[in-house]
Amino acid sequence: MRGVKSAGVEERVRRAAGVLAGCLTAPVGLAYLVLAGVPLGAFLLWPRTRSYALRLLGSGARRLGALERRRRTRLFGDRFPEGYEGEDGRGDAGAVRYLAARSWSGLVCGVVLALLGFGLVLAALLAGGVARGTIGIAELLTQLVLGGVLLFLCLQGLSALTALDARLAAERFGPSERELLRRRIDELAVSRAAVVRAVDMERRRIERDLHDGVQQRLVALAMLIGRARRGGARDPERAAGLLDQAHREAAEVLAELREVAWRVYPSALDSLGLEEALGGVAQRCALPLRIAYEVTGPLPRPVETAAYFVVSEAVTNAAKHAAASAVTVRVAGAPGSPLTVRIEDDGRGGADPAGSGLTGLRGRVAALDGVLRIDSPLGGPTTIVAELPCV
């Protein structure tokens, strides 16, 4: 507990030093803009020389902006992507705009801190007057009210200015809220399209399985029963053989229909949970499948469904296309952390991440804001890792 408190105090001291450092660098930025901007003003207004003058002015603004970036990183702990200059602040014009806004906010922050220091001096003088008995009750109350109002305004202004400084740095050196929102909209549009494609592909696969598998077997079953009915009176033994064959065919049709239903949605997910549903995958798998289930706490139903289909599709691909001899599955997660699903086979590798099956899995995982990583070098092994947020 003492270590946590000391760390909190250290962080507050570091952030206070960052605010003070920002107040000290603001006059430097303002002086640069005045000393460099005034001589270049005429050239900035003339279209023929504007780009060259802006390049000269922006070069110094970039260097001062780099100092501000290091100040935010070291004293405030901010992390910015390398080479990012803002969605509308790229180039020299953006560097100059940032330096101007930063200098203004830093100077105002310095004025607010000066007012706080002045208030502390007045408070000390007031305390001395009260100790000497030279200040009456009415004057004391008046000074306390004015001092309280001044303290409140200064603290509110300081909070707003520090927030403005952080927002300016984020817009200049990292994605702004507007750009983050735009990226989020693009991600949702892409994931929605991927989900639609995955659902359409799954529907076509189910239709193909029913048409080419179950339907053909049912037609054969109907033909067997019809032959048994027509020849039952003339040759009872042959009819009995046909009925036995029809019975076996019906059992195989039922097993295949159950397999198709499991691929559509396993009922064990609703009744028994993800662990038992994965056990069903292991029972139906043609390869030795070892599953390590290390999940503590309940999982959201969409996460369970996505994890099941990731495992099922990956295991099916390993059995059909990878020439693997064994598959290992590890499912791990804890409350408040993402569910991690890792599937590894010892096959020949070379899986195409852009293939229809893996693309469908990526769309299903992306619909939950998850991440699917595929590592399948030629010669193997193939490793598929899905991280599914449990929110």
Q: Same structural domain for residues 109 and 155?
A: yes
CA distance 380 to 378: 5
CB contact burial 340-350 (16+ within 10 A = b; e otherwise): bbbbbbbbbbe
Q: Same structural domain for residues 168 and 216?
A: no
What's the average pLDDT block by block, 10 residues per block, for the chain (391 residues)?
60 87 90 89 84 87 88 84 55 85 91 89 84 80 86 89 88 70 76 68 70 74 77 70 77 71 65 81 81 86 86 82 84 86 86 70 80 84 88 69
Q: Same structural domain for residues 98 and 48?
A: yes
Q: Same structural domain for residues 250 and 287?
A: no
CA distance 235 to 228: 9
Domain annotation covers residue 67: yes
Phi–psi pair at 383, nearest 5 degrees: -125, 125
120: tokens are 């502390």
Domain extent, residue 231, equals 204-264
Q: Same structural domain for residues 383 and 310?
A: yes
pLDDT of residue 342: 92
pLDDT of residue 357: 65
Number of residues written out for the chain:
391
Phi–psi pair at 141, nearest 5 degrees: -65, -40
Domain annotation covers residue 197: no
Domain annotation covers residue 93: yes
Q: Say what the pTM is.
A: 0.50
Of 264, 294, 314, the position where a domain reaches its end is 264
Q: Are 388 and 306 in contact (CB under 8 A)?
A: yes
Of 155, 173, 191, the position where a domain reaches its end is 173
Three-point CA angle 388, 181, 63, nearest 5°: 110
Q: Same structural domain for residues 22 and 163?
A: yes
Domain annotation covers residue 179: no
Residues 6+ apart with CB under 8 A from 356: 201
pLDDT of residue 108: 92
CB contact burial 168-178 (16+ within 10 A = b; e otherwise): bbbbbbbbbee
CA distance 231 to 235: 6
Domain annotation covers residue 196: no
Report CA torsion sign: 159, 160, 166, 170: positive
Q: Same structural domain for residues 93 and 234?
A: no
How many domains are there within the chain?
A: 3
Question: Residue 253: which CATH number?
Answer: 1.20.5
Domain annotation covers residue 108: yes
Report CA torsion sign: 113, 115, 118, 123: negative
Q: Same structural domain for residues 143 and 31?
A: yes
Question: Residue 377: which CATH number?
Answer: 3.30.565.10
Q: Same structural domain for residues 144 and 54?
A: yes
